[in-house]
Amino acid sequence: MKFTRRADLDPQTRIEIVRLAWLHQGVYGKMTQIAQYYQISRTFLYQLLLMVHLQLETLFSDEKLLFQKDHQYFEQLLLLLRLEGKCSLLSIASIVKALEYHPNSVGYLSQFFHNAAQALPSTLLMPSKSFVFYLSDEIFARHQPILVTIEAQSTAMLKIQLASDRSAETWKAHVDDLGAHRFHSIGMASDRGLGLMAGSHAACPDERWVCDRFHEFHDLFDRRRHLDRKAYAAIAKEDEAAHTFHNATSEANLDKRLQHYERAHHACEHAMARYDQLDLLLPLLRDALHLCSPWGRLRTVAGVRAELEWIVALADDLRTGRLARTEAWVREMATRVDPP
């Protein structure tokens, strides 16, 4: 979006904006409401707040702008503006220029952030052996893969690596390097990337691997579409066999075509039953793994485990033809009333 200077925002209006923002700091959604009411960006609103903080600090300080003499404070300010304020380089240059900081050029800021990023290690180093569960994936920058591994519980980024490819050898070196930094894997969750799976297994052959929920459900719903197509193909074959049977003339031909129809009919019933079973179970499984119930109540571990055990039992009933549990569930769903 192109930057537009608001000439209609006179100093008194800006003071009122800052006053409202100051009074409502920490109130969820209030900054967005103020920004929308005055038709300004939230970045500009936070810049105004930052200016007020600095001016008040200067006003009530014995030494005016003492922090300007401290280069470390200046660097911290730049990092806060970039990482917490999410300001662009142009916005940061404007802020530090207004505060009379030097240097304040965009070129200097770009080089500063580049050097800061280069100084950061790409892999965490632990003082002692740590047992972690990995979450690994591949992202891309200009078609070049970046291998990322984070820790599941804290979501801390353990390693980020710009790689030349996504082969098993590259992923094995990635995981081995984590081991050299005192991380011990008790398992990994990822998508079904061939290089990722092969490399992680080669590095940690005994670790537990699970597919992430998104790709797992994606595969399951792909399976449902596959069974749907097979069921429609079986219906077409049954219909064709029925027409062939009705067109039979001789008794021998009639008996032969009747057997062909019965086989097509049984195959059709089987194909439709497989689709219906998966179509029934998938929504139940998806809902059971949601964070909250359909009525907004936070799920518990015991509740999720009970639902999953019930779904597995239901699947077994469908497979073996014991439909009493399924029929009871259908009756319950038909009479269920949503709680208030």
Name the pTM for this structure: 0.49
Q: Sketch the domain layout of the chain as residue ranges.
A: 11-119, 130-210, 214-335
Quote the mean pLDDT of the chain: 83
Q: Which of 75, 9, 89 is nearest to 45 (CA)?
A: 9
Contact 44, 6 (CB under 8 A): no
More confident residue, 150 or 288: 150
Where residue 146 falls among pLDDT bands split at 50, 70, 90? very high
Where residue 41 falls among pLDDT bands split at 50, 70, 90? confident
CA distance 238 to 258: 11
Mean pLDDT, residues 56-73 taken together:
61
Mean pLDDT, residues 249-253 taken together:
78
Contact 110, 89 (CB under 8 A): yes
In terms of phi and psi (left: phi > 0; alpha: psi -120 to 50; beta: otherwise), the region of 9 is beta
Whether pLDDT at 328 is above 70: no
pLDDT of residue 340: 44
Where residue 211 falls among pLDDT bands split at 50, 70, 90? confident
More confident residue, 220 or 166: 166
pLDDT of residue 62: 58
Least confident range of 132-136, 199-203, 266-270, 293-297:
293-297
Contact 31, 24 (CB under 8 A): yes
pLDDT of residue 64: 47
Q: Which of 41, 61, 42, 48 is nearest to 22 (CA)?
A: 48
Mean pLDDT, residues 14-22 taken together:
86
Does the domain made of 130-210 have the CATH classification 3.30.420.10? yes
Place of tokens 């039953």: 273
Mean pLDDT, residues 7-36 taken together:
84
CA distance 58 to 99: 11
Mean pLDDT, residues 176-185 taken together:
92
Whether pLDDT at 66 is above 50: no
pLDDT of residue 338: 47
Largest CA distance in the chain: 113
Class of domain 214-335: mainly alpha
pLDDT of residue 9: 78
Rg over alpha carbons for the chain, rounded to the nearest Å, is 32
CA dihedral 84, 90, 93, 98 (to 10 degrees): -100
Mean pLDDT, residues 187-195 taken together:
90
Least confident range of 67-71, 136-140, 199-203, 217-221:
67-71
Whether pLDDT at 218 is above 90: no
CA distance 234 to 240: 10
Q: Which of 222, 218, 265, 219 is nearest to 241 (CA)?
A: 265
H/E stretch holding 247: none
DSSP string, 64-77: TTGGGG-HHHHHHH
CA distance 111 to 122: 19
